[in-house]
Structures are given as C-alpha cells and as structure tokens.
Amino acid sequence: MKGFHLCDTGCVASEWIDRNGHMNVTAYMTLFDKGTNTLLERCGIGVPNSDLTIVAARIMIDHRREFKEGERWELWCGIVSVFPTYLTLTYRLRSAKSIHAVCDIRGTPFSMKDRSSTYFPEKNLIKLSQHIIPGLVDRFITNVK
C-alpha cells in the first residue's frame, strides 16, 4: 500500500471474538493503538524516555467487513496531515484480499512531563511530514467519508 507502513500482522485470536461471532471493537482499537506506537517510533516520535507523545483527541472508524476467529490480518498505518498542534493518523486493517476497517485518529502532541497538550517542535514536524501519504484527504478537516 503506497505510502503506508506495515506496522503489524497476526491472526484473530479467540479472545477477540464477541457474542456476535466477529472481532470485538476493543480488539480493533488495541491494534490501532499498537500501530500508532510502531509508526511514531519509526518517525522518531514517542520513543521510550521521550517527553513528547501523542494522545487521541478524535477517532473515526469505518467497519467494512467482519473479521472472524483465525483470520490473518495486516495493519497498515500512515500519516494524513501534520500541524504544530495536531496530526491525523490513518490505518487500514486488512486481510490478504480486502480492507476490513479504516480508522483515522486525530492526535495532539502531549508532554509527559507537564501532563498537558503542547506543540510539535520544528524537528518533529519535519520528521512527521516526511511520512505523509500523498493524495489522502484529512477526513476531520473535510468531514468526507
């Protein structure tokens, strides 16, 4: 997937299955959160012992196909937009043949030391901007599905 980073792969575990017989929303969010950490580490943000991290401000998920127990999945992650006070991350949770869920997370930079919102330093803006996926629209700005 052009511009995306493959952040994780695996198989749908039995404990992820809800009473409806498909993967629970909690499992989706756990995978998206894990993907965030992997992607930000690749971009040099939020590494261990760093004061700067990202916290989720808004989340938008589109479930397209259900995942069932035992199905293999791939988590592809990328960056849609970057500004001094926020960024938008995007995720594609897919099987070998189709996208099962699309998630966008609006994240804000957060100081672990001060426990408050902050700004991305210029060096981080530059690092993050290098990972923007060309041509994607920020759904939080446009309210486009």
Tens of pLDDT, residue by residue, the chain (145 residues)? 689 999 999 999 999 999 999 999 999 999 999 999 999 888 878 666 678 888 999 999 999 999 999 999 999 999 999 999 999 999 999 998 899 999 999 999 999 899 999 999 999 999 999 999 999 999 998 665 5
Bridge partner residues of 72 (DSSP): 11
Residue 142 included in any domain: no
Residue 143 included in any domain: no
Residue 144 included in any domain: no
Residue 95 included in any domain: yes
- Host domain of residue 117: 5-134
User: How does DSSP classify residue 51?
Assistant: S
Residue 38 included in any domain: yes
pLDDT at 52: 85
Q: What is the CATH number of the domain that holds 29?
A: 3.10.129.10
Residue 87 included in any domain: yes
User: How does DSSP classify residue 23?
Assistant: B
pLDDT at 46: 67
Token readout for 72 is 């293999």
Give the total number of structural domains in the chain: 1
Assign 107 to helix, strand or coil: strand
Residue 139 included in any domain: no
Token readout for 7 is 């952040």
